[in-house]
Structure 1
Amino acid sequence: MFFDFDGVLVESNAIKVEAFERLYAGYGPSILARVMDYIDGKEGISRVEKIRHAHEAFLGIHLTEAELGLLAERYSRTVEDAVATCPWVTGARDFLEAHAHRLPLFVVTGTPEGEIRRIAERRAMTGYFRELRGSPPRKPPIVRELLVRHGLAAERAVFIGDALFDHETAHETGLRFIGRVPPGRPSPFPAGTETAADLSDLAERLARPPQTAHA
């Protein structure tokens, strides 16, 4: 099983959105609105890609690698403590506790790898997973690498994500996909995608054949 992290295991998406608001608020309301519209639905894509695009597309600034690194570090300082202490997604911790000993579990996230490992350590999550992987690279090559290295068959694996990019990753790599869509939120996924409000019935879902309609 492959899990995205933010919005799938922990309720941290709002923290990440607020961090982008702080990062771009100084450029004025018009630029901020365009940036926030751009990042909407881009969960699962690394902050580095989003910052690079936002600066180029909306500010006309082509960042050097050093400048990009400084902005990404500023963003990281804003979010890391908050993500390390925010609530779990309902059912996530119970599922990990019950199944980590018998299923190979992985985290594949757009968060930088060093940061996700620190956060997982602070949340006492590390022991649940065979590997915790972050950016770079993007998610599809990470999933392919993990399938090969751990001798796993894609058709027997599932990706749990909350973003369209997670759905695309599962499609590209041949994995079953279950989308997490919180109550009251519109689904970002194509019609017919299997979805769940949280992870409270994940074990039951996995025991069924893949669904062809929204949960």
Structure 2
Amino acid sequence: MSDFFSDPDNVLVFDFDGVILDSAHLKREAFAALYDDQPQPLRRAVRAYLGRRGGQPREVKFRHIEAQILGRQADEASIDTLCRRFKADVEQRILATPAIPGALAFLDRHRGRLPIYLLSATPEHELREIVARRDLAGHFDEVIGSPPDKVTGLGQLLNRHGHRAGRTVMVGDSYNDYRAASSNGTGFVGVTADPAASPFPADVTTTLDLHGLEAALASWQRQASSSGVS
């Protein structure tokens, strides 16, 4: 069986926060901090929700928190205000946050060997600015943010470039990333620093960080080959 990177028909699609940059926890804390004025039970509920809902657009999270946890209606102007407060709080910290171990070396090693894309729930104009300022744009064939949601975004990516779902692997750190891959029939490798708290089904191939991504992709390829996926 050939190496994953020796086949030009194979495709990689990366999430951003928690996969390329070590920023997922930073963003969860910034979300939670916006509700520090709430009673402790509500603060705990907000944090519990944020711990389960990585990989979703911030507007979706704010609407859920406002309506389902705080029990109050929020119009578009209120959601927009929350989004702007969130962006202002995290913007500079995102620019300084370290990369996930192994991420930059992995991208350097495999740049140009096969199509590599970035797909994030971060608003696209903001994502492109961060990627450019972190000097990462040259590592990706396309940088895609929200809208749309990741399920739709991944499907549109496959159609736009004519990639086969069975030869495409999404690399993500949240269940929403896994759901995007499953909904589109692509492969998936999960990144989870704590396997005991993995959000993924037990049969999903995972890696602690991107130092182990080559081995994880080789494992995924063996499983796909044995199951006849192509």
- Report the TM-score range of the alignment, normalised by the length of the smaller protein: over 0.9
**Which of structure 1's runs of 4+ aligned residues deviate more than 6 A?**
none
* Aligned residue runs from structure 1 range 29-108, under 5 A: 29-108=40-119
- Cα distance in 2 for partners of 1:96, 1:53 equals 35
Q: TM-score, normalised by structure 2?
A: 0.87
Task: Report the counterpart of residue 6 of structure 2 in structure 1.
Answer: none
Partner residue in 1 for 2:182: 171
Residue in structure 2 matched with residue 133 of structure 1 by the alignment: 144
| Alpha-carbon offset, residue 178 of structure 1 | 0.3
* 2:166 aligned partner: 155
Partners of 2:196 and 2:129 in 1: CA distance: 30
**Structure 1 unmatched runs, 5+:** none
* C-alpha RMSD of the superposition: 1.5
SS of the residue 1:25 aligns to: coil
Structure 1 residues 180 and 211: CA distance shift in structure 2, 3 A: farther
Counterpart-to-counterpart distance in 2, 1:97 and 1:191: 31
Q: Deviations over 1:128-167 (max 9, x none)?
A: 1111111111101111111111121111110000111111
CA pair 190-127 structure 1, distance change in 2 beyond 3 A:
same
- State the one-letter code of the partner of 2:59: V
Amino acid across the alignment from 1:201: G
Partner residue in 2 for 1:199: 210
Task: For 2:14 and 2:195, locate their aligned partners in 1 and report how far apart those are by CA, in whole Å.
Answer: 22
What is the number of equivalent residue pairs in this alignment?
212
Report the equivalent of 2:198. 187
